[in-house]
């Protein structure tokens, strides 16, 4: 199971372990003390002789160009031993590793790099907790897959359906509306011939009942 910071909760981690699963949870400042401990520990490792690559229990790296952007991802994993992480192990059931993903992004301007110029990359660090052993390639793949779902589903629901602006809150209405939005999205994605986005296909459904009925049937 992977989850963003909102769902990175101790009781959720415990439920996952009790049901025989594993978790990779995003760690942010909503768990301030642990977040600071993990961030500072990785910063300390970076400053030591040998750096992160030598002091981490496992590390991995990937690189890709996509849509004019070059992104390098580096994953560093540390085993959570009782000597160094006693409180974290008490609080988070099944915890085996803490992870840092460092993303280095370089955006190529539309006009290209000027002669004698250079692209200045943006570097960010992101932290995670996991019940999996510190295997960097496996953990990086799980984290990457989570954001693939976020980008392909939740982003579309927000942009095309204005999901984040929905004020429905009472009883089972939020779950019902979420289910309807996902059903509609899946139906609209079946149309591979119409050359427009999901938002455009929604408009066509409102203007043309025949189109809407074809999608439903």
Indicate whether 119 belongs to any domain: yes
Average pLDDT, stretch 48-58? 87
Distance (Å, whole) CA 4 – CA 156:
17
Would residue 106 count as lying in a domain?
Answer: yes
pLDDT at 149 over 70: no
Pair (48, 111) in one structural domain? yes
Q: What is the pLDDT of residues 156-177, one digit of tens each?
A: 777 778 777 788 888 888 888 8
Residue-level pLDDT at 174: 85
pLDDT of amino acid 163: 78
Question: Mean pLDDT, the chain, as a whole number?
Answer: 85
Share of the chain above pLDDT 70, in %: 88
Domain of 40 in residue numbering reads as: 2-135
Task: Write the DSSP string, 140-192.
Answer: HHHHHHHHHHIIIIIHHHHHHH-GGG----STTHHHHHHHHHHHHHHHHHT--
pLDDT for res 137: 92
Q: How many domains does the chain have?
A: 2
Do 35 and 130 sit in the same domain of this protein? Answer: yes
Question: Which of 93, 120, 135 is the C-terminal boundary of a domain?
Answer: 135
| Burial class of 132 by CB neighbour count within 10 A (0 to 12, 13 to 18, 19+) | middle
Q: Is residue 201 classed as helix, strand or coil in its secondary structure? A: helix
| Average pLDDT score over residue span 115-136 | 86
3-state DSSP of 69-125: EEEEEEEEEEECCCCCCHHHHHHCCCCCEEEEEEEEEEECCCCCCCCCCCCCCEEEE
Q: Is residue 46 within 8 Å of residue 102, measured between CB atoms?
A: no
- Give mean pLDDT, residues 97-113: 81
Q: What is the DSSP letter of 194?
A: S
State the average pLDDT over residues 81-109: 92
Ranges 19-23, 43-47, 90-94, 178-182: which has the least confidence: 178-182
Kindly report the pTM of this predicted structure: 0.69
Tell me how many degrees the CA angle 86-28-172 measures, rounded to the nearest 5. Answer: 110
On the question of pLDDT at 153 being above 90, the answer is no
Residues 56 and 17 in one domain: yes
Largest separation between any pair of C-alpha atoms in the chain: 68
113 and 190, same domain (yes or no)? no
Verify that 173 and 98 share a domain, yes or no: no
């Amino acid at each position: 199971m992977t989850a963003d910071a909102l769902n990175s909760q101790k009781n959720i981690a415990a439920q996952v372990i009790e049901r025989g699963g594993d978790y990779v949870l995003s760690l942010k400042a909503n768990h301030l003390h642990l977040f600071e401990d993990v961030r500072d520990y990785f910063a300390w490792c970076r400053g030591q002789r040998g750096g992160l690559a030598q002091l981490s229990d496992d590390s991995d790296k990937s690189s890709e160009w996509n849509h004019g952007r070059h992104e390098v991802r580096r994953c560093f994993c540390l085993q959570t031993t009782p000597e160094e992480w006693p409180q974290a192990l008490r609080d988070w059931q099944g915890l085996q590793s803490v992870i840092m993903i460092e993303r280095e992004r370089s955006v190529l301007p539309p006009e290209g790099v000027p002669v004698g110029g250079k692209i200045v990359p943006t570097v960010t660090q992101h932290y995670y907790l996991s019940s999996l052993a510190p295997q960097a390639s496996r953990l990086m793949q799980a984290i990457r897959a989570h954001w693939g779902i976020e980008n392909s589903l939740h982003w579309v629901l927000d942009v095309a359906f204005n999901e984040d602006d929905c004020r429905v809150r009472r009883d089972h209405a939020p779950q019902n509306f979420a289910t309807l939005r996902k059903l509609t999205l899946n139906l609209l994605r079946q149309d591979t011939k119409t050359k427009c986005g999901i938002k455009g296909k929604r408009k066509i459904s409102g203007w043309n009942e025949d189109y809407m009925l074809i999608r439903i049937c």
